Amino acid sequence: MAIIKSSYGKRALLKGTAAAAIFAGGIMSPIIPGFSNEAVAEAASYTYTVDATSLNVRSGPGTNYDRIGSLPQGSSIQAIERLASGWYKINYNGKTGYVSGQYVKTNEKLYRVDATSLNVRKGPGLNYSSVGLLKNGTLLSVIHKESNGWYKISYNGSTGYVSGDYVTAGDPRQARINVPLIAQRPELPSGCEVTSLAMALKFYGVNVSKTTLAKEMPYDSTKLVRNADGSIKTWGDPDVGFVGTPFGNGHTINPGPLKKLLDQYRPGGVNLTGKDFSEIEKAVSEGNPVLAWFTISHEMPNNRSWKTPAGKTISAPTPLHCIVVTGVDADYVYFNDSEAVQKDVKMPKEKFIKIYDAMGKRALAVK
């Protein structure tokens, strides 16, 4: 969380209407059962629904590609594959097109492993040899269910079979995690990032204090220099480490360097910087809390920037905050807020996505 003194010496908590959404009316629910970051041919059998007022179809996977058409809300689409960027390759009027995964949803069931570990076998029975293991909570790409209750799944670019006795099915857009709530104040008025990390670690039984994490995280020691009007002229780079101090006047630390601290206590976390909200939703659906860079006000941010001494421009929208995403469903996102000291704050998904995107799509999954 950033606490920057105004010209009157008070903490500035600003509101604004900085960024605009690409599509009007889009409420995304894009946890898609069975898709990995690679193409899965069998997954083409899944059908999805457009969940935006109007969804652009483009010639490539990004808003920089030409628009080749549009789909109205409620349209059914069949995905050929899901890309690592969160976009979907689809069939459109007899040719290939691409749509943003933020604005499609599925009503298919989500299948996950419900055992400490589950053998993947060559055929649908215990008499077939094991070809691998899946850990608890792993999402499955189910091709079909056999008559004996076993599931044929996509596995490592091929197919395999798992026992249905150890697989659960549910709504792919609904997940809640009971993450403990920790208040950042009074010790860390600008320490929402490490407080959020302490919450996520405590969820896994790793009991490390927020102040210990604050002392151990990487820092950028660049001094704050202001312009004559009080605006920031030069300061540090949050891609290097925490800018300022979490014990007083500070800005933030980005997911990359914070992950270095996380790795000391629980390796395996994923830096989701630049990823669409669908990746946060997927991680939460798998039972993992996710730190997301957000706003204190829970409203759209105001734009702000400064230069580092080396001349790099730092985008620093305000009022910055970091929260822990603890749940998702078809319409809402739930999160713990260390500044408001509120557990499972409920926010409409569409609003959450707009703020998350405007804050630079910064997130860190703790797995």
Identical topology for domains 41-105 and 192-365:
no
- Residues 6+ away with beta carbon under 8 Å from 157: 38
Q: Residue 106's closest CA among 50, 65, 145?
A: 50
Element (H, E) at 201: helix 192-203
Sheet of 76-82, strand order: 67-72, 54-58, 95-100, 87-92, 76-82, 47-50, 104-105
The CA-CA-CA angle for residues 285, 289, 295, to 5°, reads 110
Q: Which residues of the chain have pLDDT under 50?
A: 1-45, 107
* pLDDT computed for residue 208 by the predictor: 98
Q: Which CATH number fits domain 41-105: 3.40.30.10, 2.30.30.40, 3.30.70.20, 1.20.120.1690?
A: 2.30.30.40
Spans of all domains in the chain: 41-105, 110-170, 192-365
* pLDDT computed for residue 14 by the predictor: 32
Residue 105 near residue 114 (C-beta atoms within 8 A): no
* pLDDT computed for residue 89 by the predictor: 87
Type of residue numbered 147: S
* Whole-structure pTM value: 0.60
Does residue 72 have a cis bond before it (omega within 30 degrees)?
Answer: no
* pLDDT computed for residue 240 by the predictor: 99
Within 13 Å, how many C-alpha atoms sit on residue 191's CB side? 27
Classify 196 as helix, strand or coil. Answer: helix
- Highest CATH level, class, for 110-170: mainly beta
Taking the C-alpha atoms of residue 323 and residue 224, their distance in angstroms, rounded to an integer, is: 25
Q: Which CATH number fits domain 192-365: 3.30.200.20, 3.10.20.30, 3.90.70.10, 3.40.50.10860?
A: 3.90.70.10
